[in-house]
């Protein structure tokens, strides 16, 4: 039986005190603004309940440890995983580097191949280049299809048993194009390759279940999910994490230390050396609760409607070139003919509209698109039709200024 989705526009701007009246914040793909429940959780964590975790025997430390591990359970449930498979990291970048170092760096051999795509963020390119150079592996790149999505037919045609790892964005941070993640995993597994998905842009916008998708690793950052900076998540299959060496040495990640030999804790502790970002974890818990209370299906419907409205309005301006598919998830990239995106963003800022302009940490994609940079408007739960109207008014001013 299908479940009806509430498609009414969201009206949550009042939950975000850092967005003043009249400011159109359209840079959520870079980082989201924070709702009051997250701010309250952070304030309470530092101002009322703060203590270290996993070490203290006094009551407040024990209570904070319970809260910390409850957050792990909540985050794991949010993406369909298990707590012991859920590792807290500083962000998706650290999560990818951890897999590159501790899995790829120990499993790949000279001549092995890694498969990426044209639209990947630098954080999902550079770590693989570093490990490939070290072990003598090679990198292949999946092209985009005419709709500017990762071409999975091309992926199926080019993948071979020599490919040991595939790493792809679940949602493009530039184009908003959504990967058919389940099919990508099936293609990877057809030759025995492991697959990592970069979920930074997906987790705030789409329901994600790592088990149903079938991936081997999944990463995302808290600050794009209405949570704090400095906290993110790496999820990995139990058998893979169990076989991986630690990423860093220090406190908490050990079982027993002597000068002769050290043994390590099981995952996830093995990969969480040092004092963790305790209050960041509490803030992430609050962010997950906030998003779940709204409903990801409803968030996706809201952002899809905003994307459709923005693309339709921008398409009416002759000098604007749109990138990405029509059904992109919460993100609209565009260029104004004859105007550098930085100039577009500067003029928009004069009208209290905040967008991102640049290569978006995706220079290979810019090369494929044939542009040095794009302007990008990205939406969140706090955006509405007024923000799109302000965006369009600003673009019309850009075209008047530059003729």
For the annotated catalytic residues, the residue numbers are 361
Asked, as a colleague might, if the bond just before 268 is cis with ω within 30 of 0, I would say: yes
Task: Give the C-alpha separation, 218 to 227, whole Å.
Answer: 18
Tokens of 312: 């339709």
User: Both ends of the chain: CA-CA distance in Å?
Assistant: 55
Q: Are 232 and 92 in contact (CB under 8 A)?
A: yes
Element (H, E) at 374: strand 374-378
Neighbouring residues of 283: CB distance < 8 A, sequence distance ≥ 6: 34, 38, 41, 42, 45, 222, 227, 228, 231
- Tokens representing 342 are 């930085």
What is the DSSP track for 201-240? TTTTTS---HHHHT-SEEEEEGGGGTS-TT-EEEEE-HHH
100, 127 Cβ separation under 8 angstroms:
yes
């Amino acid at each position: 039986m299908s479940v009806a989705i509430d498609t009414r526009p969201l009206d949550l701007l009042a939950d975000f005190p850092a967005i003043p009246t009249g400011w159109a914040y359209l840079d959520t793909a870079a980082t989201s603004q924070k709702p009051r429940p997250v701010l309250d959780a952070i304030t309470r964590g530092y101002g009322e309940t703060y203590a270290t975790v996993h070490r203290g025997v006094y009551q407040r430390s024990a209570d904070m440890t319970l809260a910390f591990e409850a957050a792990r359970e909540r985050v794991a449930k949010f993406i369909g995983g298990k707590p012991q498979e859920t590792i807290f990291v500083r962000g998706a970048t650290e999560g990818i580097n951890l897999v590159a170092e501790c899995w790829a760096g120990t499993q790949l051999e000279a001549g092995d191949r890694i498969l990426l795509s044209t639209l990947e963020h630098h954080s999902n390119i550079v770590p693989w280049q570093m490990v490939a150079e070290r072990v003598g592996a090679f990198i292949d790149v999946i092209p985009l299809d005419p709709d500017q999505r990762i071409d999975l037919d091309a992926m199926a045609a080019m993948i071979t048993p020599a490919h040991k790892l595939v790493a792809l964005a679940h949602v493009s941070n530039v184009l908003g194009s959504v990967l058919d993640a389940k099919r990508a995993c099936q293609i990877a597994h057809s030759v025995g390759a492991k697959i990592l998905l970069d979920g930074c842009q997906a987790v705030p916008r789409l329901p994600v279940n790592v088990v149903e998708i079938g991936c081997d690793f999944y990463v995302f950052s808290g600050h794009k999910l209405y949570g704090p900076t400095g906290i993110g998540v790496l999820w990995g299959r139990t058998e893979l994490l169990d076989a991986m060496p630690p990423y860093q040495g220090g406190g908490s990640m050990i079982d027993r230390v002597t000068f002769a030999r050290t043994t390590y804790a099981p995952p996830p502790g093995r990969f969480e050396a040092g004092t963790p970002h305790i209050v960041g974890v509490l803030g992430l818990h609050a962010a997950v609760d906030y998003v779940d209370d709204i409903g990801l299906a409803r968030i996706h419907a809201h952002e899809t409607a905003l994307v459709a409205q923005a693309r339709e309005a921008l398409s009416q301006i002759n000098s604007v070139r749109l990138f990405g598919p029509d059904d992109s998830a919460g993100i609209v990239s565009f260029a104004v003919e004859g105007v550098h995106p930085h100039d577009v963003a500067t003029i928009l800022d004069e009208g209290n509209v905040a967008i991102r302009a640049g290569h978006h940490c995706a220079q290979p994609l810019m090369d494929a698109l044939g542009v040095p940079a794009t302007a990008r408007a990205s939406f969140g739960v706090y955006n509405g039709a007024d923000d799109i109207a302000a965006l369009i008014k600003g673009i019309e001013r850009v075209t008047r200024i530059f003729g």
